């Protein structure tokens, strides 16, 4: 959630931020009055409670009639304290609930507007031109014996797949390349749990508007994560970190699960949009002041990774309305998908500043006090979409696929994936 102090001291800034995202600003006034109500209820409770404590001390010292009289008074007071405490808890909860409706304040640099109002920052590489009719990744995957969506659907339903043979090898190769890249940049490798408690899910902002997209385990208080951003953001929850330990850079591997509710009919062919995939995700804890430079750093690592895969892509600066609840700014790298004739998101990096750490209570001790830290996340490699881009971009006329040089060491030195006879 946002800093309550900003809301109190500069509500107009929050109103402007809502407008930039195309959201109503009435929540600002609701939050302000909830704050007032909360503070009043706190004062009411605290003064009663102080009185109760004073009387309590007298009770323990008093004797006989005096004690009986005190007990009479204090019995009545106890009831008042109880009601006041309940009122305070209520007011506090109402305030938090309202505050949580307000998304992170978008960066000044982020373009205003919705999904289509992004700014293209740059184009890298040139989209491939073929002198033959290119096959889409599904067909290539079939020829190579790499992707099996029919059996995926049979076993698990639509939007599921098996990666087989070189498909499976490609996943391991990409994961290994991603991990090595992460290590080179000083990230600690992590394998994160993909089932989490509500606290982690809610703390990262995924139980808000995005709740429809989240799988819940029946009969348990657990959710399947849609990204390892969730366990990694919760990793240091309720902790006060040593400021000297920052930045903390993690590269977490985990499966990701998404219901894809509301995207019926979209990307139904292939493995562009699936209910489950594996991903290596960068996650960083740092100071708010350093977070902006760190965001650029994450972007540059993502770009370098796509460069290694010899893909053509563009970088966009996502508009405020498309940032999601937690982010203050977001850059997407979109790779050119030849058979779709357009750019598709492969990686995405967000600066969430102190939005998530306020909810999850992650702070650091600085020389001048304890403050919430910033969190950032960035995709290093989301497997299926990366495989799609590689297969389609590097395909040859006979259905073979050239392996980008950087990936060859992880594929036993193979430079071309060749069609196989499949049964």
Partner RNA sequence: GGAGGCGUCGCCUAGUCCGGUCUAUGGCGCCCGCCUGCUAAGCGGGUUUGGGGCUACAACCCCAUCGAGGGUUCAAAUCCCUCCGCCUCCGCCA
Candidates 41, 291, 348, 350; catalytic one: 348
Q: Which residue from 402, 381, 345 is spatially nearest to 173, judged by alpha carbons?
A: 381
**The only residue of 12, 63, 75, 266 in contact with RNA, by rule CB under 7 A:** 75
From start to end of 149-270, where are the E strands?
162-163, 188-191, 195-196, 215-216, 223-224, 239-242, 248-257
Spell out, one character per residue from 182 to 221, where the chain touches RNA: x when CB under 7 A holds, - when not: ----------------------------------------
Options 240, 243, 288, 396; binder of RNA; rule CB under 7 A: 240
Question: Among this protein's residues, is 385 annotated catalytic?
Answer: yes
Q: Structure tokens of 251? A: 């590269």
Q: How far apart are the first and last CA of the chain?
A: 53
User: Which region, judged by CB under 7 A, interacts with RNA, from 47-55, 167-175, 184-192, 293-301?
Assistant: 47-55
Size of the chain in residues: 423
| Active site (annotated) includes residue 345 | yes
**Phi–psi pair at 119, nearest 5 degrees:** -110, 135
Please say whether the beta carbons of 135 and 154 come within 8 A: no
Site for RNA (CB under 7 A): which residue of 22, 25, 30, 49? Answer: 49
Q: Is 259 annotated as a binding residue?
A: yes
Q: Do 119 and 316 form a contact (C-beta atoms < 8 A)?
A: yes
Question: Which is the catalytic residue, given 273, 344, 402, 408?
Answer: 273
Specify the pairing of strand 276-286 against strand 239-242.
Answer: unpaired
Q: Does 379 belong to an annotated binding site?
A: yes
286 is an annotated ligand-binding site residue: no
Answer for which of 19, 69, 78, 153 binds RNA (CB under 7 A) is 78
Could you tell me which of 168, 169, 191 has the C-alpha nearest to residue 179? 191
Query: Contact, 176 vs 406, CB < 8 A?
Result: no
Strand partners, 363: 240, 372
The residue from 6, 22, 30, 39 that contacts RNA (CB under 7 A) is: 39
> Is there a contact between 285 and 241 (Cβ–Cβ < 8 Å)?
yes
- State the angle between helix axes of 137-144 and 383-393 in degrees (0 to 180), rounded to the nearest 10: 90
417 marked among binding-site residues: no
From residue 79 to residue 118, what is the string marking binding to RNA with x (rule CB under 7 A)? Answer: --x-------x-----------------------------
Q: Interface with RNA includes 42 (CB under 7 A)?
A: yes
Catalytic-role residue among 194, 291, 385, 392: 385
Q: Is 50 in the site for RNA (CB under 7 A)?
A: yes
Per the CB < 8 A criterion, the answer to whether 274 and 167 are in contact is no
Q: Does 37 bind RNA (CB under 7 A)?
A: no
Of 21, 38, 135, 258, catalytic: 258
Q: Which is nearer to RNA, 44 or 406 (CB)?
A: 44
Least gap, CB of 88 to RNA (angstroms)? 9
Least Å distance, CB 71 to RNA, is 5
Here the tokens at position 383 are 């497997």
Contact 359, 205 (CB under 8 A): yes
Residues 339-398 that bind RNA (CB under 7 A): 363, 365, 370
Pick from 11, 22, 25, 52: which binds RNA (CB under 7 A)? 52
Specify the pairing of strand 276-286 against strand 248-257. antiparallel
Q: Per CB under 7 A, which region of 74-82, 159-167, 181-189, 294-302 contacts RNA?
A: 74-82
CA angle 282, 286, 289 (to 5 degrees): 125
Decide if 258 is catalytic: yes
Q: What's the min distance (Å) between Cβ of 198 and RNA? A: 12
Q: Give the shortest CB-194-to-RNA separation in angstroms.
A: 15
DSSP 210: G
Residue 13 touching RNA (CB under 7 A):
no
CA 417 → CA 144, 169, 309, 335, distances in Å? 7, 11, 15, 21
Assess contact for 381 and 345: CB atoms under 8 A. no
Determine, following the binding rule CB under 7 A, whether residue 123 of this chain makes contact with RNA: no
Binding of residue 169 to RNA (CB under 7 A): no
Q: Which residues bind RNA (CB under 7 A)?
A: 39, 42-43, 45-47, 49-50, 52-53, 55-56, 59-60, 71, 74-75, 77-78, 81, 89, 240, 363, 365, 370
Residues in the annotated binding site for ATP: 258-260, 274-277, 345-348
Residues marked active site are found at 258, 273, 345, 348, 385
């Amino acid at each position: 959630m946002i800093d309550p102090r900003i809301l109190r001291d500069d509500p107009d800034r929050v109103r402007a931020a809502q407008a930039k995202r195309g959201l109503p600003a009435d929540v600002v006034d609701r939050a302000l009055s909830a704050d007032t109500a909360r503070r009043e209820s706190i004062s009411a409770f605290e003064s009663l409670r102080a009185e109760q404590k004073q009387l309590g001390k007298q009770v323990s010292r008093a004797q006989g009639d005096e004690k009986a009289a005190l007990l009479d008074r204090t019995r009545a007071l106890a009831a008042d304290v109880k009601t006041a405490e309940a009122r305070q808890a209520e007011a506090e909860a109402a305030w938090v609930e309202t505050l949580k409706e307000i998304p992170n304040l978008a960066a000044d640099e982020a373009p205003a507007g919705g999904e289509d109002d992004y700014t293209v920052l740059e184009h890298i590489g040139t989209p491939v031109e073929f002198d033959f009719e290119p096959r889409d990744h599904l067909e290539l995957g079939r020829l190579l014996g790499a992707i099996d969506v029919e059996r995926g659907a049979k076993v698990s339903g639509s939007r599921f797949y098996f990666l087989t043979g070189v498909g499976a090898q490609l996943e391991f190769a990409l994961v290994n390349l991603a991990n090595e890249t992460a290590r080179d940049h000083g990230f600690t490798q992590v394998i994160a749990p993909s089932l989490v408690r509500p606290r982690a899910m809610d703390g990262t902002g995924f139980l808000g508007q995005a709740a429809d997209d989240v799988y819940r385990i029946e009969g348990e208080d657990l959710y399947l994560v849609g990204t390892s951003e969730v366990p990694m953001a919760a990793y240091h929850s309720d902790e006060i970190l040593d400021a000297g330990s920052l930045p903390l850079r993690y590269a977490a591997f985990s499966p990701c699960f998404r219901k894809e509710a509301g995207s019926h009919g979209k990307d139904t062919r292939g493995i562009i949009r699936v209910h489950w995939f594996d991903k290596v995700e960068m996650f960083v804890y740092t100071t708010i002041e350093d977070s902006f430079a760190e965001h650029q750093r994450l972007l540059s690592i993502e770009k370098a990774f796509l460069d290694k895969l010899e893909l053509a892509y563009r970088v966009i600066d996502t508009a405020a309305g498309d940032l999601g609840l937690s982010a203050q700014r977001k850059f997407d790298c979109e790779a050119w998908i030849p058979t779709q004739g357009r750019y598709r998101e492969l990686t995405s990096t967000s600066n969430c500043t102190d939005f998530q750490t306020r909810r999850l209570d992650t702070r650091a001790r600085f020389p001048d006090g304890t403050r919430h830290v910033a969190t950032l996340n960035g995709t290093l490699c989301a497997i299926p979409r990366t495989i799609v881009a590689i297969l389609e971009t590097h395909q040859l006329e006979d259905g073979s696929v050239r392996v980008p040089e950087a990936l060859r060491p992880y594929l036993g030195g193979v430079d071309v994936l060749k069609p196989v006879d499949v049964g």
